[in-house]
Amino acid sequence: MSSTHRTAHRPRAASGTSSEASYDRRRLHQWLAGQARADGVARRDVLRLLAAAGLASAVPVGLGAPKASAASGIVKPLPAERFIIRGTNAETRFESLAGTGPLTPASHFFVRNHTATPRLDAAEWTLRVWGDGLKAGAREFTLADLRALPSVSRTAFVECAGNGRSLFATQQGQEVSGTAWTLGAIGAARWRGARLSDVLRRAGLSRHAVDVMPRGLDADYLTVDGTNLGRVRRPLPLAKALDDVILAYEMNGGPLPPDHGHPVRVIAPSWVGIASIKWVGDIEVSATPLYSPWNTDFYRLYGEAYPQEGSAPLTRQTLKSVFELPLNARLSAHSRHRLTGRAWSGAGAIARVDVSTDDGATWHRARLHDTPRPDTWTRWSHPWRPGTPGPVTLLSRATDTRGRTQPEATVHNTQGYLFDAVVRHAVTVVP
């Protein structure tokens, strides 16, 4: 699996991807050799965390939550028909996306907060770019500085690496740790902002730079045993940073909402959600590989199928297709239904979606409603006229332009990342 989700989808990205791969190998090597700086994390702690790879326990404690709609620490309203609250996070009910169009409105967009949404003043906000990967000293940018740079707009999904995690248990009978998302830890939006590459060049990027590490302005993240992991931050290889990453200040044509990173967030298209750091306050540019708990103990694949030290840090998202239907929906027999859903892949565009209404005995090609594009999802539909009343399992299976097809099962990893198996969606046909 690790080889497929790391595959480039555009020729332009190909060289970047191979340098990402060699960079990861080098970084892993250095880390194992004990040469690396584990920024804010003692090597001893990293090893302890690795040993404990069941890490379910990393939850924030002791935070004074700002004014928010609930104890969740999230600011926007979270009506029950749209969201399922999971601790500090809010999952979108996938069925509530029916009719929302290709872009997810902020009112429906899932929220993944390690702590709580901070309230930041855009007029006072600055971005500090610093580190030994710059030719000279640190540079600060205001929001006006970013707005004065050429702007780019692009549609991209943000999907948590753990989206679909609870299906390891419900579909495969396997134990995993982490937020028990079903399939709604994803949204797609139109982002507008400055290119990270423009900002780095203006800051005086040196040719020795290898990693950049954006860091959020939200509170430090503490594990239950009281270990302070510091602010949410994760290194990006320079190849990705210079390729298609943006510093977004708009979402779907409006200012970025507080819960989604106001005033500025990173958008790393097609990569796991953690790469898209919200409320970014500084970016370290480094001439040596950087580490944080978010690329050492979290966001790698651990488990029987993986090396002891885990897979390389996760990069691209995997592939999924999901029905816009509640679990155990009731559908009347002998009437015509239009089953709708969405499919997406982190490695390319969607090539086809197949649907089965007879537990996989026969498959039918679904109709695609969008021109499939990389970095975002494609809506699809399939007409269905159920016969006899009773329980039915609906299946959908996406294939992308890289030739990846959803498998019957996902290889287990202890933290339940990158679930990509065909979803078995139970419904009941009623008289």
Ligand X SMILES: Nc1nc2c(c(=O)[nH]1)N[C@H]1C(S)=C(S)[C@@H](COP(=O)(O)O)O[C@H]1N2
Residue 300 interacts, among ligand X, Mo ion, none and using kind-specific CB cut-offs from 5 to 8 Å, with none
Q: Which is nearer to ligand X, 272 or 339 (CB)?
A: 272
Q: Which is nearer to ligand X, 205 or 275 (CB)?
A: 275
For 361, the token pair is: 């005995």
Residue 277 interacts, among Mo ion, ligand X, none and using kind-specific CB cut-offs from 5 to 8 Å, with ligand X
For 91, the token pair is: 């999952």
Gap between the terminal Cα atoms of the chain: 43
CA distance linking residue 249 with residue 265, whole number of Å: 7
279 binds ligand X (CB under 6 A): yes
Residue 113 interacts, among ligand X, Mo ion, none and using kind-specific CB cut-offs from 5 to 8 Å, with ligand X
Other Cβ atoms closer than 10 A to 312: 19
Binding site for Mo ion (CB under 5 A): 112, 160, 273-274
Q: Which is nearer to ligand X, 111 or 127 (CB)?
A: 111
Tell me which of 7, 72, 276, 296 binds ligand X, using CB under 6 A: 276
CB of 114 to Mo ion, least distance (A): 9
Q: Name the closest residue to Mo ion (Cβ).
A: 160
Q: Please identify, among the stretches 239-247, 271-279, 335-343, 378-386, the one whose residues bind ligand X according to the rule CB under 6 A.
A: 271-279
CB of 223 to ligand X, least distance (A): 14
Closest CA to 420 of 91, 84, 176, 161: 161
Q: Which is nearer to ligand X, 13 or 106 (CB)?
A: 106
Q: What angle do CA 230, 236, 242 make, to 5 degrees?
A: 140
Closest CA to 97 of 429, 343, 267: 343
160 binds ligand X (CB under 6 A): yes
274 binds ligand X (CB under 6 A): yes
| DSSP conformational letter for 180 | -
68 binds ligand X (CB under 6 A): no
293 binds ligand X (CB under 6 A): no
Give the position of tokens 């970084």: 27
List the beta bridge partners of residue 153. Answer: 192
189 binds ligand X (CB under 6 A): no
158 binds ligand X (CB under 6 A): yes
Residue 182 interacts, among ligand X, Mo ion, none and using kind-specific CB cut-offs from 5 to 8 Å, with none
Q: Which is nearer to Mo ion, 288 or 345 (CB)?
A: 345
Residue ranges in 214-233 that form contacts with ligand X under rule CB under 6 A: 216, 218, 232
Q: Is 135 helix (H, G, I), strand (E, B) or coil?
A: coil
Can you list the positions of beta strands (E) in 123-227? 126-130, 139-142, 151-159, 186-195, 211-216
Q: Which is nearer to ligand X, 216 or 289 (CB)?
A: 216
CA distance linking residue 244 with residue 360, whole number of Å: 38
Q: Please identify, among the stretches 27-35, 108-116, 198-206, 411-419, the one whose residues bind ligand X according to the rule CB under 6 A.
A: 108-116
CA distance linking residue 257 with residue 159, whole number of Å: 17
Let me know: does 344 contact 319? Beta carbons within 8 Å: yes
CB of 220 to ligand X, least distance (A): 11
417 binds ligand X (CB under 6 A): no
CA distance linking residue 287 with residue 206, whole number of Å: 8
CA-CA-CA-CA torsion sign (298, 93, 361, 406): negative
Q: Which is nearer to ligand X, 251 or 339 (CB)?
A: 251
Closest CA to 302 of 416, 422, 203: 416
74 binds ligand X (CB under 6 A): no
278 binds ligand X (CB under 6 A): yes
| DSSP conformational letter for 7 | -
Can you give the binding site for ligand X, defined by CB under 6 A?
109-114, 158, 160, 216, 218, 232, 260, 273-274, 276-279
